[in-house]
Amino acid sequence: MKKTNVLILFSLLLWGCSQSKNNVEARIDDLLSKMTLKEKIGQMNQLTGTGLSTDMTDCIRSGEVGSILNEVDVKTVNELQRIAVEESRLGIPLIFARDVIHGYKTIFPIPLGQAASWNKELVEEGARIAAKEATSVGIRWTFAPMVDVTRDPRWGRIAESCGEDPYLTSVMGAAMVKGFQGNDLSEPRSMGACAKHFAGYGAAESGKDYNTTWIPEIQLRETFLPPFKAALDAGVASFMCSFNDINGVPSSGNEFLNKQILRNEWKYDGLLVSDWASIQQMISHGVCSDLKDAAKKAANACVDMDMMGFAYISHLEELVKSGEISEKQIDEAVRNILRMKFRLGLFDQPYTKEDTTVFYATESLEKAKQAAIEGTILLKNDNNLLPLNDKIKSVAVIGPLSDAPSDQLGTWVFDGEPERSITPLQAIKDTYGSKLKIIAEKGLNYSREISEDGIKKSVEAAKKSDVVLLFVGEEAILSGEAHCRADISLPGAQSKLLSELKKTGKPVVLIVMAGRPLTIEKEVNQADGVLYAFHGGTMAGPALIDLIFGKAVPSGKLPITIPRMVGQIPIYYSHKMTGRPAENICLIDNIPVGAPQTSLGNTSFHLDAGDSPLFPFGYGLSYTTFEYSKPTLSKNTISEGDSIIVECSIKNTGKLDGKEVVQLYVRDLVGSLARPIRELKGFEKIFIKAGETKKVSFTLKPKYLAFWIADMTKKAEPGKFEVWISNDSQTGVPVKFELK
């Protein structure tokens, strides 16, 4: 096509977009002009489903509700929608919402496990499948992705996060948004996504859910906000407030966050919904005297919709009448809500065509399995025990997670069905039942069990087998919302179970299925091989068995640091250097009795844990090996408007084909503020055949080097930098360049 034709086409497209935008805004104006104040406030009210109860149907008829969550019976959904469209005065459709977090029926790995794949295309496909399944029963709005960065594995919701890093979370969050929303939000199989929880929720003190946070603005902007901005740039349809207060101000009443940043700086014109009763909870926070006060604070802080808080529906009308809230403010909120309804195409196509044939489609199950494979991390593989080879004739399948259909689904699976889960035990029987002697002996019935009664039998099973596959971890109920732990070691008698099995002298492969990183240093030392699987979803079993027997090669990398001990938390790769970086580490058992105070060198480490994690961010082994060349730079200096190409060759030096996650890190050597010792700035997951070499290149631009400085502007400061291309956050050879 000629250049001029392309230009004309592009201009036509732009014109078309702005026309349809104008059209939507005109339709919103028209509706608003017809709405009573009561009807406007009704749109701002979100209720949980109560079927076809009279309370609910009356509310809909009289226009007192704008959205319903947790209604998943499609016939009920359509009937409620019919009442809204045909029997309410203005016929405004409802939006039906649900927490579709890592799958609707076909459950994918928990988000932390999906992030461990570092495969954004796969993550996007997972969200697309979730959207196809969920929209088939009428859910057009999901409360996902959760893009809260967190560095605290005690926090139960770490399971729902993409880990500790703002960049990785941004990429994964944006991929989920694209997957949920598809190419066209108005298409009936697309679902509006929701970037939550805005903001800082992952910084809850002591990893205790809903707890207070203290976040300096610089850290807020540098660490916690970028994934939200990335979700916005990906076109996310909605945002949700977080429960926590930041520096004393709960998010649902936080004008700085919601007005200054979200609306004014980022120009967000979508819907901001509160979290469940989070407006009401400003009373418990102790910042509002009563529900009316809470309604006023939330409305002033630009929160458009009140999820199950009953503050808006009960008090906004009197607040407008008394002049404490202007009707203009209400109109703004209603505009945002209606805009989302228009964007979802609900005015044109309010009803759902029931189609449950999309549940558990073969391709969806295959993708879920692929996600579970790529989201599993090989942490240790002594003597190349894995993959198991033909010499293995008998296998003991042990551990509370070896056959726990419900637990392998993980947290937040309202609609997942354990009876559709394929467990590791089932999978090994299905695939190798006729070839291998499989002795299954759980040892412990569930992860917290402290009774050691079953251990003896599992030891007997181990003695009769060539290898032990020990599936340990956490039940699903030990992670997720409000499921935080202060001790994140293996619960119950699982560690004891491992020690007893180890005594048999049989090689032990430890497979950890958990909602968070666990402190398993002792267990890792004991095991011969370790796979960290998180909660892998419906297809966790077949995925793990393929990995164990080598039908699949591990390629997952840690999206979060694994600490040695809970007392190291927060421990994350991108920390600051300190004035006395750790050196000459002398651990507690090596301190001579009576040693003088200054004999330990006075550097930054813990006497009992040293200064390193058990496994760093970005870490993960493969069954093959990759050799990285020293990165080369296209030039050694850059200036504004310029870029540098950083390039590296990666050779698969092993005998198997495999995928590798190639990671790009940068360090600003001297800044006006202390800078992290490394920051992830890019990554690529590539497939390399055995013996083959592939080149990977990244483009570095000055804007990637920018950071928030003391005067709250974001700038890249001239000076020297180091760049790495490496296979985790601790290895690699740095190369220097300068920003002029």
Task: Name which of 689, 129, 111 is nearest 366 in CA terms.
Answer: 129
Residue for token pair 């844990």: 609
Closest distance between ligand BGC and the C-beta of residue 275, in Å? Answer: 5
Contact 304, 312 (CB under 8 A): no
Closest distance between ligand BGC and the C-beta of residue 194, in Å? Answer: 7
Contact 195, 232 (CB under 8 A): yes
Q: What is the DSSP letter of 192?
A: B
Q: How far is CA 284 from the centre of its chain?
A: 28
Closest distance between ligand BGC and the C-beta of residue 134, in Å? Answer: 14
In the list 304, 481, 668, 679, the residue contacting ligand BGC (rule: CB under 6 A) is: 481
Footprint on residues 659-688 left by ligand BGC (CB under 6 A): none
Nearer to ligand BGC among residue 180 and residue 623 (C-beta): 180
Sign of CA dihedral 458, 461, 466, 469: negative
143 binds ligand BGC (CB under 6 A): yes
Nearer to ligand BGC among residue 275 and residue 660 (C-beta): 275
Nearer to ligand BGC among residue 129 and residue 146 (C-beta): 146
How far is residue 439's CA from residue 205's CA, in Å, rounded to a whole number?
45
> Phi, psi (5° rounding) for residue 585?
-65, 125
Contact 619, 728 (CB under 8 A): yes
Contact 81, 350 (CB under 8 A): yes
Q: Which residues pair with 440 in a beta bridge?
A: 397
Nearer to ligand BGC among residue 252 and residue 519 (C-beta): 252
Contact 488, 518 (CB under 8 A): yes
Nearer to ligand BGC among residue 481 and residue 546 (C-beta): 481
Three-state DSSP class for residue 632: strand
Q: What is the DSSP letter of 345?
A: T
Nearer to ligand BGC among residue 143 and residue 619 (C-beta): 143
Neighbours of 677 (CB within 10 A): 17
Contact 293, 253 (CB under 8 A): no
How far is residue 424's CA from residue 416's CA, in Å, rounded to a whole number?
18
293 binds ligand BGC (CB under 6 A): no
How far is residue 513's CA from residue 375's CA, in Å, rounded to a whole number?
11
239 binds ligand BGC (CB under 6 A): no
Closest distance between ligand BGC and the C-beta of residue 209, in Å? Answer: 9
How far is residue 279's CA from residue 274's CA, in Å, rounded to a whole number?
7
Three-state DSSP class for residue 664: strand
How far is residue 279's CA from residue 264's CA, in Å, rounded to a whole number?
22
Nearer to ligand BGC among residue 69 and residue 547 (C-beta): 69
How far is residue 646's CA from residue 2's CA, in Å, rounded to a whole number?
34
Footprint on residues 87-116 left by ligand BGC (CB under 6 A): 99
Nearer to ligand BGC among residue 196 and residue 263 (C-beta): 196
Query: What are the structure tokens assigned to 346, written together?
Result: 């609900």
Residue nearest to ligand BGC (CB): 143
In the list 276, 312, 572, 708, the residue contacting ligand BGC (rule: CB under 6 A) is: 276
Q: Which residues pair with 101 in a beta bridge?
A: none
Q: How many residues bind ligand BGC (CB under 6 A)?
A: 6
Site string for ligand BGC, 157-196 (x = CB under 6 A): ---------------------------------------x
Nearer to ligand BGC among residue 164 and residue 481 (C-beta): 481
Catalytic-residue membership of 275: yes
Task: Name which of 559, 639, 712, 717 is nearest 222 in CA terms.
Answer: 712
Burial (CB count within 10 angstroms: exposed 0-12, middle 13-18, buried 19+), residue 487:
exposed
Contacts of 520 (CB under 8 A, 6+ apart): 489, 490, 510, 512, 562, 614
- Concatenated DSSP letters for 287-318? S-SSHHHHHHHHHHTT--BEES--HHHHHHHH
How far is residue 504's CA from residue 443's CA, in Å, rounded to a whole number?
15
Site string for ligand BGC, 389-418 (x = CB under 6 A): ------------------------------
b or e along 28-46 (b: 16 or more beta carbons within 10 Å of the residue's beta carbon)? beebeeebeeebbbbbbbb
How far is residue 257's CA from residue 3's CA, in Å, rounded to a whole number?
44
Closest distance between ligand BGC and the C-beta of residue 25, in Å? Answer: 29
Closest distance between ligand BGC and the C-beta of residue 252, in Å? Answer: 12
Closest distance between ligand BGC and the C-beta of residue 201, in Å? Answer: 8
Closest distance between ligand BGC and the C-beta of residue 575, in Å? Answer: 28
How far is residue 518's CA from residue 532's CA, in Å, rounded to a whole number?
10
Closest distance between ligand BGC and the C-beta of residue 276, in Å? Answer: 4
Of the candidates 99, 165, 275, 668, the residue annotated as catalytic is 275
How far is residue 619's CA from residue 730's CA, in Å, rounded to a whole number?
8
Nearer to ligand BGC among residue 197 and residue 659 (C-beta): 197
Question: At 526, which amino acid appears?
Answer: Q
Task: Name which of 444, 373, 362 is nearest 403 in CA terms.
Answer: 444
In the list 71, 133, 275, 679, the residue contacting ligand BGC (rule: CB under 6 A) is: 275
Start-to-end C-alpha separation, the chain: 40
Contacts of 401 (CB under 8 A, 6+ apart): 407, 408, 424, 447, 471, 472, 473, 511, 513
471 binds ligand BGC (CB under 6 A): no
Nearer to ligand BGC among residue 301 and residue 566 (C-beta): 301
Q: Where are the alpha helices (DSSP H) in 95-146?
A: 111-115, 120-135
Closest distance between ligand BGC and the C-beta of residue 11, in Å? Answer: 41
Site string for ligand BGC, 197-236 (x = CB under 6 A): ----------------------------------------
Closest distance between ligand BGC and the C-beta of residue 154, in Å? Answer: 17
Nearer to ligand BGC among residue 99 and residue 222 (C-beta): 99
Closest distance between ligand BGC and the C-beta of residue 488, in Å? Answer: 21
Nearer to ligand BGC among residue 49 and residue 613 (C-beta): 49
Closest distance between ligand BGC and the C-beta of residue 99, in Å? Answer: 5
Active site residues: 275
Question: Rule CB under 6 A: which residues touch ligand BGC?
Answer: 99, 143, 196, 275-276, 481
